Amino acid sequence: MMEHVLSILLISAGIMVVVFAKSFMKKVMGLGIIVNGMHAYLVASAYRQGGVAPILTPGMKLGGFVGSAVDPLPQALILTSIVIDISVTAVLLALYIRAVESGEIP
Amino acid sequence: MKIFGASSFQIASFGGVGVLILFLIINLVLISRKKSRYLQDINLVASATMVALAVFTFLKLTNTQAPSLSMGVGGWAPPFGIEIKIFLYNSILIVFSALSMLLVFLSLRTERLPNAVHPLFLLLFIGVFGVLHSGDIFNIFVYLEIMTVASYGLVSVSEEEGRYNTALYYAFPMALVSTLFLLGIFLIYSTYGTLNLYQLRMLCAHTAMFPLALFGTGMVVAALIFESALFPFYLWKTKVMSTTNVPASFFFGSVSPVLCFYLITRMMTVFNLRSIPQLDALLVTLAVITGVVVAVMAFYSRNLLEALAYGSIAQIAFALFLFVVATPSNNLALYSFVHLLNTMIFETLIFGSLMLRGQLTGEYMEPLFSTGILSSIGVPLTSGFVSKYFALYYTLRISPLLFTLSVVFVIASVAYGINAYNLRKNFHYRRIARTSPVALSVLFIFFALTFFLGIHYRPLISLAEAMRSSLEVCG
């Protein structure tokens, strides 16, 4: 529960930065905070007390494995999301740099 | 023959995105080795391949008993594997997107744009085809991001002043909206433990949604409403379309709204959102306000591309309005699909004639553009008349209020159509000596369809009915 609250706080902090920051760079950073808060939320949702990696190794009992293996999908989702977030941030910053260089943004 | 567990037929049906990735790599190699003179021909081959694959899949789908074709990537079943799924609704949109791609790359032969737009457009269409193929909501998000990242770059390619500012004006809110979409997906996953659309549909069909999942779904729909540019989010689209290059405007005015309509209707079907009357009321209100506002704005606009942007928003708002007010006892959902098909035809004619202005002489361009405008207004004998006539007829039979609201949309179409027709004279044209037969023949397909379906409307209705029922069965 505590993890959920912390991740929601992180998301809220990101939203505050996006809404109230005047600098474009800070707004982009706020966006990054929101996305990382969301990743923390998904990690918290998928967390399993005493869970094991979802890989069946020799000697492991199937019943115990099924009962304690963690869900592998959130990791894949978060990894993909991190890559997308980095790409979007890079494009936004590249556009910002171009806009500053061309004098469109002082 | 099987490759990665997929048959040759599955590869032909689902391999479009892979084909485009190969062409994207070729594009990047050519640009890096400064041999970009081959780009135009290579990308035309890519477009023609996509058209062939899309038509093949559509024909195959209509000739089989199965309502859909599905493939788990790498042989993994959902929810762990990514499912790619084609049914009649998205297969028609795939054919339309492939033809749009062909038009874009044809126009790039004469548009004076930097070579970098070639790989960007390829990336854009990889996103479009990926969204249409996906049977998984996270995969839809990934391809939407690919599409929007490519469009950020494309918006900044024009000769207008302030283009980077416009790109940022578009990109930042869009990135925020994507974040909203992703949060919605995570909330749905943490509730149901799957992101496969078919499994989600089975889970949502008979039980009320959990509050957290409902909140997540609301975020997904809100993000799609923003991308559709419905009121109050319409300003980004008009600013972007009036500033950027014409092929990118074509994408925002023609392909993007159709894609958004597809996603909204699919999400509403999957998550059984029609059972929530408050959401229906909200969507109807948004659609009607959008219709009124954009009609006024389109009428007073002095920029052709801006007026067309308002027009494309109004058409999708009308289709959405018909979809949302439909009930099992009336036929309005069917006519929302008829209207969607018509919008695809006349928006392609309008934007296509502008986009290929470097390859069409005035004697061909004027009739093509005017036919598109007449169809968008809903003049008899054009296909645009069919959806508007049936929409007005059935809404009048259901309730005077719905009829009045439908009239608002028809007035919006007339307002923007008249203004766009007048503004065409201010648009920048280059005089050319000879019309390109290839460019003419692609647009002629849409020209012929406008009149054929306007006179013999039964095939249009049958196709729309097939799209609607395939969404109901396979969505």
- The contacts of residue B377 (CB under 8 Å, 6+ apart) are B384, B413, B414, B417, B418
- Percent of chain B, pLDDT > 70? 96
| Residues in a beta bridge with B2 | B7
Chain A: closest CA distance from residue B243 (Å): 14
Buried-exposed string B455-475: b where 16+ CB fall within 10 A, e elsewhere: eebeebbebbebbbbbbeebb
Query: Which residue of chain A has the CA closest to B143?
Result: A84
How far apart are the C-alpha atoms of B287 and B409, rounded to whole Å? 9
* A99 at interface of B, judged by CB pairs closer than 8 A: yes
Query: Is the per-residue pLDDT at B131 higher than 60?
Result: yes
A87/B176 touch (CB, cutoff 8 Å), yes or no = no
**Peptide bond before residue B277 is cis, with ω within 30 degrees of 0:** no
pLDDT tens-digit profile of B133-167?
999 999 999 999 999 999 999 988 877 778 888 88
Asked if B172 and A24 come within 8 Å (Cβ–Cβ), the reply is yes
Please tell me the predicted confidence (pLDDT) of residue A51: 84
- Whether A18 and chain B come into contact, CB under 8 Å, resolves to yes
B3 pLDDT more than 70: no
Interface ipTM? 0.89
Residue B49, SS3? helix
- The per-residue pLDDT for range B188-207, each reduced to its tens digit, is 998 898 899 999 999 988 77
- Residue B138 half-sphere exposure toward CB, CA atoms < 13 A: 27
Alpha-carbon gap, residue B30 to B235, rounded angstroms? 37
Residue of A77, A87, A99 lying closest to B164 (CB–CB): A99
pLDDT for position B350:
93
Chain B interface disruption, residue of A19, A31, A82, A104, most B CBs within 10 A: A104
Hey, CA dihedral for B276, B278, B280, B286, is it positive or negative? negative
Question: Which pLDDT belongs to residue B119?
Answer: 92
Whole-angstrom CA distances from A66 to A54, A56, B214, B270 are: 9, 9, 29, 29
DSSP state of B115: T
Look at residue B38 in the predicted model and tell me its pLDDT: 86
Two tokens, residue B44: 């035309």
Sort out which chain A residues have CB atoms less than 8 A from B182's CB and list them.
Answer: 35, 38, 81
Q: Does A25 touch chain B (CB under 8 A)?
A: no
- By CB atoms closer than 10 A (0-12, 13-18, 19+), residue B150 is buried
Q: Does position B349 have pLDDT exceeding 70, yes or no?
A: yes
Residue B356 parent element (H or E): none
- Give per-residue pLDDT as tens, A74-87: 888 999 999 999 99
Contact B375, B346 (CB under 8 A): yes
Residue in chain A nearest B157 by alpha carbon: A95
Hey, what are B257's tokens? Answer: 């709204």
Instruction: Please state the pTM of the whole predicted model.
Output: 0.93
Cβ contact B171–A95 (<8 Å): yes
Residue recorded with tokens 């009962």: A67
User: What mean pLDDT comes out for the span B173-180?
Assistant: 89
Contact list, A11 vs chain B (CB under 8 Å): 183
* Residue-level pLDDT at B428: 65
Report residue B374's pLDDT band, with 50, 70 and 90 as the boundaries.
very high
- What pLDDT band is residue B430 in, cutting at 50, 70 and 90? low
pLDDT averaged over chain B?
A: 88
Report chain A residues whose CB lies below 8 A from the CB of B193: 71
CA distance B439 to B353: 9
Please give the backbone phi and psi of residue B339, each rounded to the nearest 5 degrees, phi first: -65, -35
**Residues contacting A17, CB < 8 A, separation 6+:** A26, A27, A29, A30, A33
Q: Which of A57-61, B28-32, B120-124 has the highest mean pLDDT?
A: B120-124
Asked if B186's CB is within 8 angstroms of A27's CB, the reply is: no
**Contacts of residue B195 in chain A, CB cutoff 8 Å?**
73, 77
Q: For residue B134, report the phi and psi dihedrals to the nearest 5 degrees.
A: -70, 140
pLDDT of residue A28: 92
CA–CA separation, B428 and B311 (whole Å): 20
The residues, ordered by sequence, that sit 6+ positions from B189 with a Cβ below 8 Å of its Cβ are A42, A45, A73, A74, A77, B138, B195
DSSP B83: E
Tell me which chain B residues have a C-beta less than 8 angstroms from the C-beta of A99.
164-165, 167-168
pLDDT, position B310: 86
A-chain residues within 8 Å CB-CB of B165?
99, 104-105
Residue B74 has pLDDT above 80, yes or no: no
Which site among B134, B168, B187 would you substitute to test the A interface, given the most A Cβ atoms closer than 10 Å to its Cβ? B168
Q: Show the CA angle centred on residue B147, arms to residues B142 and B150, nearest 5°.
A: 125
Is A105's CB within 8 Å of B190's CB? no
Q: Which residues of B touch A (CB under 8 A)?
A: 79-80, 138, 142, 145, 149, 152-153, 156, 161-162, 164-165, 167-168, 171-172, 175-176, 178-179, 182-183, 185-186, 189-190, 193, 195
Mean pLDDT of B239-244: 84
**Which residues of chain A neighbour B156 with C-beta distances below 8 Å?**
95, 98
Contact A87 B153 (CB under 8 A): no
Of B13, B7, B16, residue with least CA distance to B48: B16
pLDDT of A45 = 86
Which pLDDT does position B50 carry in this prediction?
A: 92
Reported as a pLDDT band with limits 50, 70 and 90, residue B269 is: very high
Residue among B164, B176, B186 whose CB faces A31 most closely:
B176
Q: Is the predicted pLDDT of residue B76 greater than 80, yes or no?
A: no
**Strands B68-72, B6-7: pairing kind:** unpaired
Taking 70 as the threshold, does the pLDDT of residue B129 lie above it?
Answer: yes
Using the predicted structure, report yes or no on whether residue B1 has a pLDDT greater than 70: no
DSSP E strands: which ranges in B30-152?
68-72, 83-87
Q: Given this model, what pLDDT does residue B223 score?
A: 93
Give pLDDT, residue B5: 58
pLDDT band at B236 (very low <50, low <70, confident <90, very high): confident
> Among all residues of chain A, which has the CA nearest to that of B78?
A73
Residues 53-92 of A with CB under 8 A from B: 71-74, 77, 80-81, 84, 87-88, 91-92
* B164: chain A residues, CB-CB within 8 Å: 95, 98-99, 102, 104-105
**Residue B6 binned pLDDT confidence (cut-offs 50, 70, 90):** low
Domain boundaries, chain B: 1-271, 276-475
Which chain B residues are closer than 8 Å to A71 by Cβ?
A: 193
- Per DSSP, the residues of chain A read -HHHHHHHHHHHHHHHHHHH--SHHHHHHHHHHHHHHHHHHHHHHH--TT-B-S---TT--HHHHHHHBPPSHHHHHHHHHHHHHHHHHHHHHHHHHHHHHTTS--
